[in-house]
Every structure is written in structure tokens, then in C-alpha cells.
Structure 1
Amino acid sequence: MTTSATPLYLTGAFEPAAAETDAQPLDVIGTLPRVLSGMYVRNGPNAHPGQDPGHAWAGHGMLHGIRIRNGHAEWYRNRWVRSTPAPANYDFFVPNRDRSVTAANTSVVPYAGRILALAEAGLPYEVDGDLNTLGVFDFDGRLDTGMTAHPKSDPRTGELHFFDSYLPEQPHLKYHVASSGGKLLRSTAIELPEVPLMHDFALTEHYVVFFDLPVVADPTVTNAMPFRWNESHEPRIGILPRNGIGTDTIWITVDPCWIIHTANAREDDQGRIVLEGNRVVPDRWDISWARLGGYVDHVPGDLDARNPLPEAYLYRWTLDVHARTVREEHLDDRAIEFPTINVDRTGRAHQHIYAVGYPRVGGADGYELIKYDTFTGTDEVRRFEKTQIPGEAYFVAAPESSNEDDGWLMSLVSGVAGAPSELQILDATDFTGDPVARIVLPARVPYGFHGSWISDPAES
């Protein structure tokens, strides 16, 4: 797929894998920690051969899994998620549309003994430990919306928090809470003026944080991702008490932006919400959306294809719920994506954020992993060649760890221009040191989105 007729979003790092592959065992450079027993699995859009999905984010979901046990990398396999395909003339804006129709291409999470492949406009799809699709998971028919690709598990209660903001009819947004055992506990409707492209949200001890921002759905956009930037849409962040109803939401206006991913949120000693994530401004939105295949009125500059995702920057919002004010801080000038933390710190104070660094438009080549220290304001940088693009760094805590960063980071590195793809495992406490292990993969892995480490059940 390298001809001039091939869309930009089906070339280079995003060029789809043409087939499903099985390989065993795998070559390992270094030593795998023997306490790691489970599977790393990552999701991402991967169009079927000969198909043009119309947007980089619309290709059918493909899972890539690497099985690790007893210090060995036992196998690699990739599988398309067998979700319901969209019928002819499928309309995203029809109320009560069939939510089993989804690409299921964005993330993959363990939940209640299941493995769920997610894309926020549709229902979750369950897969087994060999990545075979089992079918829709809808909480025994109780879930009547989709599930965000970024559900949050509360480390205190084990409850799963999630939402769907792609409802063409009012209320446009529904927030759900489920038990750790797989039961849907409650749902709350929140009315919004339009359908926003709300990809992520945040959780604190007492609140849920939502983003009603100027990237909104537009039925006139004939595209696989029918969204545009609407300058007249008020940018605001909503704060809902965890046990509240939709009308309890407090809205605070912020500077115009799109928040693509959050790292975390917490409440400080003054009761304010401190939110950290990556922020996209309007002109960076235009460039990235055009490159990815979306519709824009005007594109300033050229389509720099080195950064396969929207150009975003690490940012902090400090929200005073009572005064309904916000302080905004730009934390870094580097273009970053996929900010992650030790998920055991979800909703609480965290020291470290891990992120992928990309070339800025007009900037130097090369890719990075970055470890930010939010206490000191410093960071460490791990640099990669321009032919290997590191993926999201997923943190896996070491057994009986005492410090927040005691553990490993797993990053699926995609090779381009003939470079190898590999799963790199890093010691999070020795971020710039040699990898603990590099698992060399038998095939090129396209650049994708989010992954998870799925541990084997503990032996009784």
C-alpha cells in the first residue's frame, strides 16, 4: 500500500497488517522477569486488505498479543476483532442505532475476568486468551449505550466508571458505574448542547470530570469520522459528584482546546481538582485532522506525516469547584501523546507521568519516551531512532512494590522502513538504562493505540 492513490493514513507507520499471524517461541534480547506471567495485548485500527475505511481511526480493530511466562516469550499472535460490520447506509446519527456495529479498535482492558476490546461509539467486544472474538458484552442486556475506550477502575472499590457521549438524541451523554464483578450498578444522564468528540474523562475521590469541548459531531460531514471544530461551541469542563445526577454537574469554561487523553486527576488539600492531560489547540487540530482523513475548512501548513497523532502538549488545569474558576498551565513544549501513570494512583496524587514524544510540525526528527516528575517539574528522556516509534508505555507494578515507580513499562515499538517491531520492557526506576528485555516480533506491527498487561490469575 504505497502507491500514490493510497491515502496518507494507510501508509508509513499506519500501513495495515495484511494478515493474521502466529509465531512461537519469540527471540528475547535481555532477561524477562520471571514474575511476569500473562499477556501484553494492544489494540489499533487495521483496515482489511483492499479496504479504505475513510479515516485513520476508522479501520477495523486488530489485537496484537505477546504471551510471557516463566521468563520466556511463548508466542505472538494478531487477530482482527470480529465485530458487527456497518451495513450499507449506516447512519451514526440515528437514535437507538445498533451499537454492536463498531470497529472495536481503540483499547483493550481486563475487566471482571474478561478481556474487552473497546471503541467508544459502540458496545464492548469480549475476546478470549487467544484473542478470538467471543461476542458483545452488554452487562446482560442492561447497557443501552456504548462504552468509552477509556473506562476508569477505582483502585479503592474496584468499580468501573465509563460513559458514552455519542448519543445523537438528548441527553447526548450517559455516565455508568459497574461493580468489580461485572454488574451494571447505575447510570446517569447529562444533557449537552451538541455531541462532542469526548475521548477520555477523569476520576477523583469525590468527582467525575467530563470534557464538553469544541470538536463536535456534524451530520453534514460525509466522512467515517463526522466531526469538526466549532468555534461557537463553549469549551468547558464538567464536574459531577460521584453519586450525583446530571443536573448536579458544575461547568467551568476553559480556553479553547481539545483534550485527547488524561493522565490523571486528583483533589488537592484545598479541595480543588488538579487535572493533567494532553491538550490540542485549534491549528494543530486542523493539521492532524486533515492528515488523519477528517474534514477541515482550512489547513495551515503541510501535512507532516512523522507524527501519526494530533499534536498535543502536556497541560494542567486546576479547577476550583466552589468558585467555578480554573487556572491553566502549559507544562511542556514537546509534542506528546498517550500520557499514562501507575493506575493504582488513579484519582489520587501521582508523581510520575509517562508519555510518547513525537516530532512537532517543522521540528526535528526522532521519537522519545518521557518520564515526567510532577513533584520536581523535571523529566527523563529515552530516545529512539526515527525508524522505530514507541507506543504507549503501560506500567506494570512489581510485586510488593513500595514506591510508585517500582515496576516495568511495556511499550510496543512499531518499526517503519524495514526496522523491527518489538515489545520493549523497561525498568521504570532506571528509565534511561538498557531495556530489561526486548521481545523481537516476527512481523511488522502497525502503529496503534492502547494496550494492557493482563496478568494470569494468581495460583490458589
Structure 2
Amino acid sequence: MPVLEDSVSHLSHTNRFLRGNFAPVTVETTAFDLPVKGKIPEELEGRLLRIGPNPIGMPQEEHYHWFTGTGMAHGLRLRSGKAEWYRNRFVVDGFNASALGRPDLRGPRNGDGKNVANTNILDMGGRTYAIVEAGGLPVELTYTLESVARSNLGGTLEHGFVAHPKLDPSTGQLLAVSYEPQLEALTYMVVDPDGRAEARASIPAPHRPMVHDMAFTPTWVIVLDLPVTFNPARMSSGLPFAWNPERTPRLGLLPRNGDVKQMRWVEAPSCYVFHVMNAFDDGSAVVMDVVRHPRTLDKEHHGPGEGISKLVRWRISLLTGKLTETVLEERGCEFPRFNDEFGGKEYRFGYTAATDEEFQFGPAFKHDVSTGRTEVHDYGPGRATLEPVFIARKGAIEEDDGWVMSYVYNAERNASDVVILDAKAFSEKPVASISLPVRVPFGFHGNWVPDHI
């Protein structure tokens, strides 16, 4: 049901993160029995969820940063080989509640912030949450993506949450490293399978870095302390962080038990990493595959796009503490994913969305990180994929036995499709393509949430 007039055409066209498929949509849509080309695997029963920024009204274009827009959740429900429904819903926060004609959410608060949740959407403890970093609390959503309440996970969150909790498939736990602009420490926390959090370490960080992601192995939690730090001069722009050339980039190897006294710091290349693909131990070193940006939040004040972001492998010698780098993919890419059953373990395949210097999207990549070979799936002229999500086939033995699903923008009809690829036949014709009635703007992250977890 629409809640606001769709006024995308009236938005500013000088800020590139407010035009094209970055532009927000202003209508909440519910559509049933969606048209399908090909055949949806009947095994896929659940929801493909994703989220991204979607400001209401006319943002101040000179100050608007892509990371700060109020959130909108998107979901496609599959069952019995059919696309039953698509829904998009605003995630209610302190900025958009009145514009939507809705009351502010109930639930606890963390400080005086507006609690914009726009970065990831996932299942924790059998509940659906929209999540964000930098002090924001999770927002619980219904199965059909209506906002329910802010949550501190049953009183177990000491501060805010994170955008990228990482699943350890060996334990069922989610591991996370959180930060907040007002705190001079990072928090390493663990969320159990029931959705309750435990803070295991406080890591001193008086320079207050922006820590978007993390990694883990069976032995270590890997903390990214890179040269983007809190900068009060940027407060008016809505994103008070900036590139800080005076900070030496480093990685922290923290024992999984959280013993900060045993933490080891390693100097890293000068860069910024929003996203880690995976990490593992190889006996003598910690290996982690990351998407490395030359820099960010420096001269570009509206979003990423300060040079090509490349997939690289960092190998940290446990004997010498030295880091060496190997480029796995020269072409620009972002939003790395892999088979989650290999989290923290040696693995072979990962998936990314192609990007260019201005952070425009295109085909999807399948990376064989053991050989350096990359396969490409080109969705066709005027089509661009969002984050590709891997779903393993039930009973799969091979790592890439499953599907890659993503929301794909189709410029020809100014709307989006959900495209399902056979991961083992990645560059071939899609298994199925589901036509949505509206655009899904370029946003951030999402997950496949099966109905029976």
C-alpha cells in the first residue's frame, strides 16, 4: 500500500547517490504471484531479504551521504517453486516516523540518536532484525517486514550493535566487533544461537576508528583498525568520520576468548576495508581476503568511489608479524560473499558485485581464490547486480553446489528482478528470473532466510 507520493523524479540530480538506481523509492509496495522466467528450485523456501538507505522527502544534496539514509527493507518470499510475494517497507526510526504517520518505535534506546537501521537484515534467534553500526540498536521486524520495536537483545547489549556479525558455523554463534563515536574503545561480542549477546573484550581505541566489518578464524578475532576516524568537523554532513592520514593502519589479532593482554597488532597497507570475504589459519599464518579501497571519506563526501576497490589476500605471518598482499581480482568489486558453512575455514569460492571507480555496479563475479580465476555472469545490457548471496543445496558436498541469488536492477523497465544462478554453472543462463514491479535501489546487505532454520 503506498504511503507517500512517489516523487523520485523530483530528487536532486547533482549528488550521484541520489540519482539513477541510487535514488530512493517513496512507495511501500506489496505484490503477489510474481512472474517467473525459468524454474525456481522447489527447495528454496523462505525469504531473500535485503536493506539499504532510503531517505524520505528531499535530502540536503550537498550534505547527504549514502550511508546515512533512513532504512528500507525488501523481501521476496519463495515457496513450492513460486514467487509468492515481494514487499518493501520503511524501517521506522526517529527521522521518518512522523512523515510516515506512524508512532515512534517502542523499546530501549542507546543514547539520544534517531536509531536509523539501514545496513543489514538477518535472522537472530528466530527473529528478523534490521541492524546498523555506530551505536544503533537492532530493529525487530515481522515476517512481512513491518517494524516492531528497537531491541537490545533481551537486555544483553551493553551498547549498540554492528552491521556485520559473522556466523561461526562450528558453534552457531555470531561474532562481532562494535564501535560508537562517543566511546574510546571497541567491543568484541558474541551472540549465541538464541539471540543473546555477551561482551567478551573491550579494546582501547582512543582515536575512535570506524570499524565496519571484522573477521575470525578458529583461533583469532581479527580487528580492522584503519585510517578512518571520528571527525567532529564532519558532524554537519551527517557522517562524522573522515580519512585520517596520521593514523597507521593496523590489524589486531585477538584470541577468541577475548584476552586483550594477548592481542597482537600488525601493520597493514594504507587503505580502507569495508568488507572481509573470509579468513582462516594455515598453520603458520592468518589468511584473510578483503576488498581493499585505496581510501574513503576523503575528497568524496557523499559515498564510496575514491579509486578501484580490489579483492586482495592478506597473509599475516605468526612468526614475523609481517603482512604480505596478493591481488586476487584487478577489476573493481565489492560486497563479497561465500558459502557460510566455510566461515573461518580454508575455502575456495567467493562472489562479488562488479564496481567501477565511481561505485557503479554491473556483472557478478565468482572468484576461485585458490587459483585466481574469476568467472563472470553478465546479466545483460542495462542490468546491474546488487550483493550476490550464496545458498547451499541441501546435502551438498562440494563448496559451490548451490545457487547465487541477487536483486538485479533492469534499466530497460526501471525496475528490478531477482535472478537465481546455478553457482556451478555461474556464467550460464539463469535458473530463474523473477520480475518485481518496482526498483530495489542500490543498497547494502541482505541474506537468504529459510522458513525452517
Question: Matched residues in 2 for 1:51 and 1:143: separation?
Answer: 32
Aligned 8 A contact 2:353 2:361 in 1: no
Residue 314 of structure 1: aligned partner:
311
CA distance in 1, matches of 2:375, 2:145: 35
Distance 1:418 1:398 in 2: 32
Deviations, residues 252-286 of structure 1 (Å, cap 9, x unaligned): 0112100110000000032x10000100113x764
With normalisation by structure 2, the TM-score equals: 0.90
Correspondence for 1:379: 374
Contact 1:118-1:147 at 8 Å conserved across structures: yes
- Equivalent residue in structure 1 for 2:245, among 231, 247, 251: 231
Once the two structures are superposed, residues 133-187 of structure 1 have per-residue CA deviations (whole angstroms, 9 ceiling, x without a partner) of 111221222212221111011101111111212242322x111112111222343
Matched, 1:42 2:50: yes
State the secondary structure of the residue aligned to 1:331: strand
2:220 is matched with which residue? 207
Instruction: Please give the alpha-carbon distance, in whole angstroms, between the structure 2 residues aligned to 1:100 and 1:35.
Output: 42
1:84 aligns with 2:94: yes
1:109-144: CA deviation from partner (whole Å, max 9, x where unpaired): 111101111111211111111101111221222212
Distance, in Å, in 1 between the alignment partners of 2:145 and 2:96 is 22
Residue 82 of structure 1: CA displacement? 1.2
The aligned runs of 1:296-307 (5 Å cut-off) are none
- 2:191 corresponds in structure 1 to 178
Q: Show CA shifts across 1:183-211 (max 9, x none).
A: 22343100014111211100101100011
Whether 1:428 and 2:423 are equivalent positions in the alignment is: yes
Structure 2 CA distance for aligned equivalents of residues 81 and 17 of structure 1: 13
Preserved contact between residue 56 and residue 96 of structure 2 (Cα < 8 Å): no
1:278 aligned onto 2:291: yes
CA distance in 1, matches of 2:433, 2:342: 27
Tell me, in whole angstroms, the C-alpha distance in 2 between the residues paired with 1:439 and 1:82.
28
| Residue 452 (1) aligns with residue 412 (2) | no
- CA distance in structure 2 between the aligned counterparts of 1:389 and 1:374, rounded to whole angstroms: 23
Corresponding residue for residue 415 of structure 1: 410
- Three-state SS of the structure 2 residue aligned to 1:264 is strand
Q: 1:336 to 1:372 in 2, by over 3 A?
A: same
Q: Which among 271, 274, 283 is matched to residue 260 of structure 1?
A: 274
The corresponding residue for 2:204 is 191
Cα 1:165–1:133 shift into 2, 3 Å: same
Structure 2 equivalent of residue 112 of structure 1: 125
33 and 4 in structure 1: CA distance in 2 versus 1, 3 angstrom threshold: closer
Contact 1:126 1:135 in 2 (8 A): yes
SS in 2 for 1:375: coil
Question: In structure 1, how many angstroms separate the alpha carbons of the residues matched to 2:192 and 2:307?
Answer: 34
| Conservation of the 8 A alpha-carbon contact between 1:366 and 1:383 | no
Matched residues in 2 for 1:69 and 1:378: separation?
35
Unaligned runs of 5+ in 2: 1-7, 98-108
What are structure 1's unaligned runs of at least 5 residues? 88-95, 295-306
- For residue 429 of structure 1, give the secondary structure of its aligned residue in structure 2: helix
Which digits, 9 at most, give the CA deviation of each residue in 1:209-260, with x for residues without a partner?
0111111110111211111111110100111000033333211011210011
From the superposition, tell whether residues 5 and 180 of structure 1 become closer, same or farther in structure 2 (CA, over 3 Å): closer
Number of residue pairs the alignment of both structures matches: 430
1:314-342 Cα offsets, whole Å, 9 max, x none, are 11111123422111222222010011110
Residue 233 of structure 2 corresponds to residue 220 of structure 1? yes
Task: Write the distance in 1 (CA, Å) between the matches of 2:399 and 2:357.
Answer: 30
The 1:35–1:291 alpha-carbon spacing in structure 2 relative to 1, beyond 3 Å, is same
**1:26 aligned residue (16, 34, 49):** 34
Moved more, 411-420 or 66-75: 411-420
Tell me what 1:299 maps to. none
User: How many percent of aligned residue pairs carry the same amino acid?
Assistant: 34
Is structure 2 residue 365 aligned with structure 1 residue 330? no
**8 Å contact kept, 2:11–2:18:** no
**Residues 99 and 146, structure 1, Cα contact 8 Å, conserved in 2:** no
**Aligned partners of 2:12 and 2:18 also within 8 Å:** no
Match status 1:405 vs 2:418? no
TM-score for the superposition, normalised by structure 1: 0.88
Structure 2 residue 75 is the aligned partner of structure 1 residue 55: no
Distance in 1, matches of 2:326 and 2:297, equals 19
Provide the rounded CA distance (Å) in 2 between the counterparts of 1:168 and 1:417.
45
Matched residue, 1:341: 338
> 2:379 and 2:76 mapped to 1: Cα distance?
22
